[in-house]
Structure 1
Amino acid sequence: MAISESERRSWTTPGAQDAAQRTYASVKAALDRSPSLSVLDWEVFLQGSYANATNTRGDSDVDIVVMLKSIYIPDGTQLPPSDKIRFENRRRGTTTMTAATFRSLVQQALSDYYGSERVHPRNKCLRVDKRDGYVDADVVPALQHRRFLSYPAYGDPPFIEGIAINPLQGGRIINYPKRHRDNGQAKNTRCRDKYKPTVRQVKRLRRRAVDLGLVDKRAAPGYLLECLVYNVPNHLFVADDSVRLSNVMMWLAQYSGAELAALCVSCDEVHRLFMNDPGQHNQHTTERVLKALWRLL
């Protein structure tokens, strides 16, 4: 069944923001009330579709990062040899704070505010159950991660700020949600405000394919689709909603999985989407999904 032009236009509309904004404000209030957290340097911010303004109707939860800044995870892997020597010889501070301790403080703050029956530990986050007028919240305790770009002898070394998540099971996960957000905003500007509406269209197209049984519901999550659309050349984001969606999907569907792996970066432009992105996306599954979505048009 082909997708009508009216549907393609309607799919550009973002989902409701009010409930997510209320949920974010509520979680921040819970953290602000904690005496244990008040003595630490931390920051709370959104990540995911609500932060990136690519949410659609039906996005049912909000991702909220609580990043500890009192300590950070240093990354000098990209430094030139001369800078690496200075990086390795840097002065290291001492602290008794760990990722596990910080997570426990965040969990206690949430439980004190909401009641322990509404707060559920998950592998990478703490789920806070919604109530009327709010959405479920995945609260992600993390440490600041600094990917140093250089390490001069004098002055503050420049770095890309990321987050380091220590899950209950599995190894540390490094993401760059602020850089993802900023790059998406810049892409949207270059595309005359048509990039983010197109991401929403593609997400709704994928949802339609799932409903029709054409695509597995676990395949091609919203983050992956957003990054794929990020790689589409800017000139294809034309004003007409229907033509633009066809342009973008035709460009994506033309490539094999191997070609997608060679071409595509993540929105943070630090990771390669199918090579070292923490999402561990499969390029061959993605190829099949994209071709199914293109046939649906």
Structure 2
Amino acid sequence: MPRFSEDTLSNWTKPPSDTEETKLSNAERMVREAINEDPILSSKTTEVFGQGSYANDTNVRLNSDIDINVRYTGGFYFDLPEGISRDDFGLNSPSEYSLCEFKNDVYAALVRKFGGNSVKRKNKCITVLGNSYRVETDVVPTWNYRRYDKSGTYVLGAKLRIDSGEYVVNYPQQHIENGKIKNANTNRRFKRLTRIYRKLRYKMLDDRFPVSDSITSFLLECLVWNMPNSILNDNDTWQERLKESIIHLYQHTKDENKCDEWGEVSELLYLFRGNRKWTKSDINKFSEDAWSYLGY
């Protein structure tokens, strides 16, 4: 007999309550105010928007991450195709303002708004601690990033500099839009099944069932994204959808060739290529453990 009933799984598909959503929106609004009120940043061109599970409407409880992207739009980083130079596309010289300086300015603006005891600078982000009015928020300072093709057109992403020195590129807005499309194509089941997987991960951890640190909330959303729509549309219950999706994960991550083309939800970065936190074997092990934990 499965560990969790159909009613329980159905309850896991639900988004946070109105009270939780209010705290989430308060956090985003206050970060935006901090940037707009800051004497340095108010004179620069920036945009503030949600990303991650909050913006994608796949968060499941208050201690899940809320990520706010603060992006500098007064300049941009870029990558060019092989054989193309900066002059070919008429690109200007780099800005004298840097991503590192921008992160310092964002940190100062948040301290000015929330107080030094409520703001913690971390390697990848700046965390604003939560209280009764808002949830804990990770603020990610980024710059515009352009990935050009040979025709001179580009896709727009975000580039951040980790304090340890590395740079990371992602595409949060494409992620949001693609998630909406798949959700519409699966009768709103894409985001609901993602919430089930995220809740399942929390339950396994709460019950001291081993879950690798590499199995992140972001990864789980990408794994559900790569599942065929038929798994979501052709099964009648959440129990069946969850079972079939775990089988799909197990079978496709056991064979190196079956998931090599899987991508992030943005469809602009591969899920298993490059220096990633997770491996195919991590996911294969997670699918086995989840199956066992669920009593299937």
Q: State the TM-score, normalizing by the size of structure 2.
A: 0.90
Any unmatched runs of 5+ in structure 1? 152-156
1:105 corresponds to: 105
2:186 corresponds to: 191
2:211 corresponds to: 216
Q: Distance in 2 between matches of 1:274 and 1:282?
A: 7
SS at match of 2:124: coil
C-alpha displacement of 1:242: 2.5
1:269 aligns to 2:271 (yes or no): no
C-alpha displacement of 1:257: 6.1
2:162 corresponds to: 167
Check conservation: 2:144, 2:159, Cα contact below 8 A: yes
Q: Which string of whole-angstrom CA distances, capped at 9 and with x for unpartnered residues, describes residues 145-201 of structure 1? A: 1112343xxxxx432111111111041011111111111111111112110001001
Check conservation: 1:19, 1:134, Cα contact below 8 A: yes
1:292 aligns to 2:289 (yes or no): yes
Letter in structure 1 aligned against 2:183:
N
1:26 corresponds to: 30
Q: Which string of whole-angstrom CA distances, capped at 9 and with x for unpartnered residues, describes residues 223-242 of structure 1? A: 00100010000111135322
Check conservation: 1:2, 1:296, Cα contact below 8 A: yes
SS at match of 2:134: coil
Following TM superposition, where does structure 1 have runs of at least 4 consecutive aligned residues deviating by more than 4 angstroms?
85-89
Q: Distance in 2 between matches of 1:142 and 1:56?
A: 26
Judged with a 3 Å threshold, the aligned counterparts in structure 2 of structure 1 residues 296 and 67 are, in CA distance, closer, same or farther, namely: same
Q: Distance in 2 between matches of 1:98 and 1:186?
A: 35
- The answer to which of 242-251 and 229-238 deviates more is 242-251
1:154 corresponds to: none
C-alpha displacement of 1:32: 0.7
Matches within 5 A, 1:110-189: 110-151=110-151, 157-189=152-184
Judged with a 3 Å threshold, the aligned counterparts in structure 2 of structure 1 residues 26 and 135 are, in CA distance, closer, same or farther, namely: same
SS at match of 1:294: helix
1:71 aligns to 2:75 (yes or no): yes
Q: Distance in 2 between matches of 1:280 and 1:144?
A: 24
Q: Distance in 1 between matches of 2:215 and 2:243?
A: 18
SS at match of 1:70: strand
Check conservation: 2:201, 2:211, Cα contact below 8 A: no
C-alpha displacement of 1:94: 4.8
SS at match of 1:165: strand
C-alpha displacement of 1:209: 2.1
1:225 corresponds to: 220
Judged with a 3 Å threshold, the aligned counterparts in structure 2 of structure 1 residues 169 and 4 are, in CA distance, closer, same or farther, namely: same
Q: Distance in 2 between matches of 1:54 and 1:87?
A: 43
1:251 corresponds to: 248
Letter in structure 2 aligned against 1:240:
T
Letter in structure 1 aligned against 2:95:
T
Any unmatched runs of 5+ in structure 2? none
Judged with a 3 Å threshold, the aligned counterparts in structure 2 of structure 1 residues 89 and 197 are, in CA distance, closer, same or farther, namely: closer
SS at match of 1:69: strand
Q: Distance in 2 between matches of 1:41 and 1:257?
A: 47
Q: Distance in 2 between matches of 1:94 and 1:274?
A: 32
Q: State the TM-score, normalizing by the size of structure 1.
A: 0.90
C-alpha displacement of 1:282: 1.7
C-alpha displacement of 1:263: 4.2
Q: Which string of whole-angstrom CA distances, capped at 9 and with x for unpartnered residues, describes residues 266-286 of structure 1? A: 11111111113x643222111
SS at match of 1:236: helix
Aligned-residue Cα RMSD (Å) equals: 2.0
Letter in structure 1 aligned against 2:118:
R
1:41 aligns to 2:39 (yes or no): no
Q: Which string of whole-angstrom CA distances, capped at 9 and with x for unpartnered residues, describes residues 247-280 of structure 1? A: 222211223162464142111111111113x643
2:9 corresponds to: 8
Q: How many residues align?
A: 287
C-alpha displacement of 1:87: 6.0
